[in-house]
Chains A and B, each alone.
Chain A
Amino acid sequence: MSEHKRRNQESVAAEDIDDLLSTNMGKPPSDIDALVRQRAREATRDAPRSVNTDAHERSWARYLPVAAVLLVTVGVTLQLQRPERVAEAPLDVVADVAEVEDSAVVAAAPAEPIVLAEQAGKRSRQAVVARELASSAAVSMDARQGGAASPDALLEARVMKVLSSLQDDEAEQAVALARELREAYPGVDLIELIPVDTEDELRAAFEQLMTDLE
């Protein structure tokens, strides 16, 4: 049996058909890639901007990790406020949530802020994006924690993730992004939970959230 034939049989027997399927495909044509990127730039330049931003002062790439963290933050908070979660939670968690609902934190954040914003005719693409991503991120985090994490555990995970991920320069980015998100959520006080001035305020706000749940 030739080496070539033996190798083929081994790869199939090892249930690894990825290589056979993916090899010999070559690379994407660079000339078309250049054409596509050029076309995208022309289309972007020709289209009116839907968001008024100081693009020259920021780079979207620097915002990505912070954006993900903040969207998780919003998502978990929304999950905490969903009535069905309370209904499904153990009794002790229900009691905790009931206390939280009386707190100033929740008072500052309407139970269904996005719905209210939409009803007020202020729905924007950004709001829809943030809502869907936040929901997806929250479900993902829930799943990673076994699918039955309590609201407290989710919040703690969220806070620890935010605090551990923020460096000094990232905090500044978070501040800028928070401002953008706040603009994207017209009339939604939820974003006020994310401080917008200094890193110290950011940390203090999350610590306050933890205190409110204790």
Chain B
Amino acid sequence: MTAGLDAGVVAELRRSFAAALSEKDQARARESLLAAGWLEALDADESVSVAIVFGLQGSTRGDVAALDDVIAHHVGAPADGSTAVAYPVTMGGKRTHVAFGAHADAQRLVWVGEETLDLVTIAAGLDGPRVQGVDPDLNLISLPEPPTGTSTPIKDAAQVWERALAAGRIALSHQLAGASRTVLDLALSYAQSRRQFGTSIATFQAVKHRLAETLVAIEAAYAAALAAATNRNPISAAVAKALAGRAAEVAGRHCLQVFGGVGFTLEHDFHLYFQRNLLLGRLLGDQRTLERELGARLRTGALRGERIVEIDDLPPAVLLQR
């Protein structure tokens, strides 16, 4: 981080990034985001720019592979948006890789091995079968094997990946929280307009409590993402991703109850956010796996004295106002 972004610049970036992400075509939206200064903002103030862009990717579902740029930023790849990432995922216990189709024109690919990181040149761009899964719209490409091309190992892979993984988890936490907040807003307005028993369902305490519970989960996830972005502690980033996964789960469960039957249908937007969140909740570690890993570290004494955030960690002021 070279210089923090002030409130005026942040407001302007928020506007131009939102406009870019509202474009329907992923590749064009990505071009627009880059043209709006996303990579420069990432370089100037990662915490703030990531919070804005990923919060927007969550609320608009305009996913443009910005995660690739965050990872590239941390593995020392050229900062021109030309590097994609093959993300390790498991399917039925088997390890494989996926990449963002929005970034199929990338010239390089970071291949995340079990203990290695390689930068592979891909002159012809990315190609492979599209992952259908729970959310085909995200447009993930399946990459069971590294593509052919000149491959250069990245030095100090373990430390580099630890930092990059933490940055990626922070970014996805903002996206999950942003999407969950949008689901909550939809549920709030639905609850106020839907009438049963002669009154709006927002007057029922059972409904209010589900909505309140959703906000609580989102606020915890947002605070944790902010803390991890501030101190760049990999444990804090794992916590943030776990809390964001939980927030998405809570928002999905409670808000669907508020929408009732219509929330289950394709006529309502709920499923779009819900299914996107299922997929992003899985990427770079789902909450259950993260909790199990943190629990193992706790049990073996590796987290003794870990406090996640300290009072003299200073959160970016522009992100503290919500």
Bind each other: no
